[in-house]
Amino acid sequence: MTESDFEPFKLEIERLYIHDNKSLTSVMEYMTSKYSFAKSPGQYSRQLKKWGFVKGHIKADEWIWIGNKLNKRKLNDNKKSEFHIGGKEIHVPKLKKAKYRDAYVSSVARFTTAPSPKTPEGFFVYTPPSVGMDLTWNRSLPWLRFIKLVRPIENEEVLSPSSSLTVCSPRGADALSITVNHELMHRLSTIIPWNKLCHPPNIRSSSRTSAALSILMPEEFPGQHDDLSMNLSSSTNKGRDRMALELFLLSNNITSQDPGGRTASNIRSDDERVMRILSDYGWKNLEHIQILLSTREPTAEAIAEKIFASALRLHDVDAVKMMLEAHMNPNNPLIESISGDILTPLQFIAGSHHEHSEELVNLLISYGADVNHSCNENPPLFYAINEHDNRTICALMFHGAIVTPSCLCAATHLKDIGVFSDIADSCSDVNARTGWQDFGALAEAVKHGNVLMIEILLFKGANMNDLVTVDFEDDVATTTILGLGVRTQSIEVVRALLWDCYDLNPDFDGLPYISPVVLAVQIGSFQITQALLEAGVNINLADKQGKMTLLERATEQGFSTTLELWRVLIEYGAQVDRPASGQEFESSALLVAIQRNSSEVVELLINAGARLNDEYTKAPYTALGAAIEQGNQVLIDRLMAAGATLVGTKLATIGSLCTAMFLEQNGVLQGILRVSGPGILAAALSAKKANLVQYLLEHNADNGDRMENEVSTPSKQTPLEAAIRAQDFIFAENLLERGANVTDRVLADAIRTDPVYLEHLLARFCGSAPTAVGTAVSHGTTSLQLLQVLQGAGVDPTGVPQMFQNHWNLDDFQLPPPESVLEIAVVVASRKNLQFLLQWTSWSPRLIGRALTFAILLHLNELVEDILPFNPDLTQEITIQYFSGTNEFGPVRGEQETYRPLEAAVDRQMVPIARTLMGKIDVNYLGRGARRRTALQYAVERGNMELVNLLILEHGARIDSPPATDGGATALQIACLKGYIGITKRLLDLGADVNEAPAKYNGRTSLQGAAEHGRIDMLQILLDEGALIVGEGEPQYHKAVELAERNGHYAAARLLRSWRDSVYWSPSAVEE
């Protein structure tokens, strides 16, 4: 049994055991009969304990503990308290009543500072969040106007004209599922990225919910959020209140932030919830929808847009028809796809490949959808073709869909050649492209190797000499359709193209053209290369293209299964060597063939006249040197027999003992070892070639005419390092006796391989060894003991440690390489090691400041507390790299963020630490670089009003601090983007400038940000507060409307237009 067995049933078990107060036996019987989920009582008990599910009955001694805890936290720490048991909150009325019954606490107990008794099992206490806002809401807000229409009107003898919109709670809504309420509370908690609470996930806090509501939603009356959150937590709320909250979130496009991003599953879940809301409110009929839209209220229009989009995504034909009959515009692009694109209804349905797609396409067109209308470069037909939906393709073409270049290109992916032929016949120009860099239809057909499609397109006049781009030598190069055909590695495709190609050697007037022959050699295809050369493609032109000759390219790719490719290239005149000149080249076909031990190719090249004594700029510098590194005696003999004499001295290794002895017999070994001896010896040690190692040492390979043998780099090691890594301590001792230096990296290698040997090496070491100290820090359980050994030997821990870059690629972001071992101790979260290092020596404030920022970024509170007393430089900046996702090569780099300790603490919502830092540093500092934020801007971005109030009220943070030049935003702009209407109102009340200019690059004004994200009520607040939309505000207005419509928020765009019209009709408003 694993925990994962229980997880799918967690909510159901919680409902039965906690909220319905069923016995464990009853729960087990129900789960077995309903879900065939049979587990033992012991397994249930263990899992319930893991989840923190404890029955809610509170004993007298537990009431005493609660009362004691409540008073102590209030009197000693000035903290409020919220108590939970088994996932259920103990509500205030019940708590107050208990205080005077079971929870009486004496004065001595109340004021004592003695430790509190142990927390009873299943109980949890924490400080409820407080937003610290007293806001007054304008009754003209769209939401507050709208909700009056749908609330039941009490004590009215005559119903208002909108009374048909008013609803009572749906049947059973006052007893809605506890699970539904808790799911809503969980969603609210994910909308605002608070991370300071660490209680179990089954805790539902009414105060947290109330705080979230205060930030997201205006109140109809004072205390509404407290009442609603308490009712949600206790599951006593009326269904209409919960659904009103859902409608507000819907109308203002406020959605939960799923850690996995937008997926088909969570989009469908959201859409199903929208349709349930519609049904629960009794609006799932034409009359109600028509009345909803006839109100002309922005909130009603925004809700209708969301309903229409959800109905389309769910392929709910009846709901879509109802919305169309209510005059929803079928051409407005307002459907968000999984990829995040905003599409028209017809585009989305055409690309959905659903059983109702054809029916919905015909329905939309019957209600006026334009079959060719597009909000991007791809019409609906493109999406149908892309999904290989033949029925929808035919329906769209029947209604007059135009075959655009993108449609024809997409059609080359179809499997049905008949459908493709029909599409091609309907296309007026088969050579047209969507953009000049995009592939045409012929190129797409070639890329997919479809010979029949190629023949159809060539018959219709497709241009063979169209230029296309291909990836080549880590860059982009230009070739023809024939070159693209070569890339398919299909001789049938190449022959089909050659049959219709009349100009095999086009002149492109200096463009960086790559011949098809080059590409054929690159893929190692003898058959295609031969076909091209026989057809007349110019080999001399091809030999001069790219960084290698054709023979070099063939050899570099390592195609050793056949020699025909090399023979045909030589036969048609390919260069065996580059032209002789004073210039030295990196390599040659001969050098590469030797390095690959390709004896047959070497023989072929020698017979073709390859030069044998050229010197190259790239190791191993000579042909004979390459054979020596390989240790291939056959190649050495053949090269020397053919006239090779130049060995060179810069070798990385000697391949074998026989080769070394051969070199000695020919009198060249000593010259090689004088220059490259230490590296050759280290390579032999790493390869564990004991006989070769001994032979090299006998010839003094460790004592070359250089000092760099003791100065290693990450890619090069000294003989002593190699010996220790190979755990050949006898040989290491031999090297030490011969005078080898003990370096920082030698010590680090000893710690990794055999810490016992470390003390012996330390006796020969003096100086700084940050790499060794860093290695010790990350050595696990023995790390502190190793640090003590290093300290006792007088090692200096300062300096920049090497080879620790891999430690900084964390799950969510990448830290910069460490500049001290303090940072290593922080990253491995070793508090004892960090404390030891801080006391070891006197560290510079700069390094301590960096370590502090690392600790804050990693949420390591205790380590932060350890570092703060050591006078850190609080101006140190750390830039971290976030990841935007992954691909086949690993993490994909996303945005960068630069932090000082204060900004990091605010961003990570470490309130006590941020409070400490605020009094020691400029809270308005912005810094240079993209996406920089002040502390206040970070606090607003996280929706943390405690930090917002601290910064503004206690530390004078500037409300209108300007945004960073690229990707920056003011505090108000951030609040508007995020949909934090409560914070927006608070900032405006404190004097925030509603018309503050946006960032120069990638910025938005407050109005633009609200419009872009469909925040209906936010827009109204900004307009009420004087957001300019005429005169100087004209550009802002047009951009806001554009952003709203581009993202499918047409209700928001209409609100802006309506307000602007009212301003134009009111001259006094313009003057103001």
Tell me the pLDDT tens digit for each residue of 481-516: 999 999 999 999 999 999 888 778 887 776 778 999
Residue in 935, 929, 925 with CA at minimum distance from that of residue 974: 935
DSSP 8-state secondary structure symbol assigned to residue 18: I
Number of neighbours of residue 953 by Cβ within 10 angstroms: 11
3-state secondary structure of 763: coil
Q: Which residues contact 867 (CB under 8 A, 6 or more apart)?
A: 822, 834, 838, 848, 851, 852, 855
pLDDT at 744: 95
**Low-confidence winner among 36-40, 205-209, 657-661, 958-962 (lowest mean pLDDT):** 205-209
Given a cut of 90, whether residue 477 has pLDDT beyond it is no
Q: What percent of the chain has pLDDT over 90?
A: 61
Structure confidence at residue 644 as a pLDDT band (50, 70, 90): very high
Are the beta carbons of 702 and 735 closer than 8 angstroms?
yes
**H or E element that contains 105:** none
Residue in 893, 953, 904, 891 with CA at minimum distance from that of residue 933: 904
Q: What length is written for the chain?
A: 1072
Tell me the pLDDT tens digit for each residue of 371-426: 999 989 899 999 999 999 999 999 999 999 999 999 999 999 999 999 999 999 99
Given a cut of 90, whether residue 183 has pLDDT beyond it is no
Given a cut of 60, whether residue 450 has pLDDT beyond it is yes
User: Chain centroid to CA 499: how far?
Assistant: 48
Residue with tokens 């209030």: 74
Which has more confidence, 337 or 194? 337
**Low-confidence winner among 82-91, 199-208, 572-581 (lowest mean pLDDT):** 199-208
Task: Kindly list the distances between the CA atom of residue 1014 and the CA atoms of 131, 274, 421, 995, 1054, in Å, as whole numbers in the listed order.
Answer: 24, 17, 44, 19, 11
pLDDT at 122: 60
Number of neighbours of residue 715 by Cβ within 10 angstroms: 5
Tell me the pLDDT tens digit for each residue of 589-636: 999 999 988 899 999 999 999 999 999 988 889 999 999 999 999 999
Given a cut of 80, whether residue 561 has pLDDT beyond it is no
Given a cut of 50, whether residue 705 has pLDDT beyond it is no
Torsion of CA 108, 110, 112, 113, to 10 degrees: 180
User: Chain centroid to CA 571: how far?
Assistant: 53
Structure confidence at residue 89 as a pLDDT band (50, 70, 90): low
Are the beta carbons of 596 and 627 closer than 8 angstroms?
no
Torsion of CA 234, 239, 244, 246, to 10 degrees: 70
Tell me the H-state helices in 643-795: 657-665, 669-686, 690-698, 719-725, 729-737, 744-753, 755-762, 770-777, 783-792
Tell me the pLDDT tens digit for each residue of 998-1036: 999 999 999 999 999 999 999 999 999 999 999 999 999
**Strand arrangement, sheet containing 123-126:** 88-89, 82-85, 123-126
Kindly tell me the burial class for residue 80, based on how many C-beta atoms sit within 10 Å of its own C-beta (0-12, 13-18, 19 or more). Answer: middle
Question: How far is it between the farthest Cα atoms of the chain?
Answer: 118
Number of neighbours of residue 704 by Cβ within 10 angstroms: 20
Which has more confidence, 205 or 474? 474
Given a cut of 50, whether residue 566 has pLDDT beyond it is yes
Given a cut of 50, whether residue 104 has pLDDT beyond it is no
Which has more confidence, 263 or 837? 837
Are the beta carbons of 963 and 998 closer than 8 angstroms?
yes
Q: Between the ranges 231-240, 584-593, 767-776, where is the mean pLDDT highest?
A: 767-776
Strand 813-814 and strand 878-887: the pairing is antiparallel
The mean pLDDT of 805-830, rounded to a whole number, is 85
Are the beta carbons of 498 and 535 closer than 8 angstroms?
yes
User: How is 264-301 classified by DSSP, letter by letter?
Assistant: HHHHHHHHHHHHHHHHHTT--SHHHHHHHHHT--HHHH
Tell me the pLDDT tens digit for each residue of 569-597: 999 999 999 887 767 788 899 999 999 88
Whole-number Å distance between alpha carbons of 901 and 586? 48
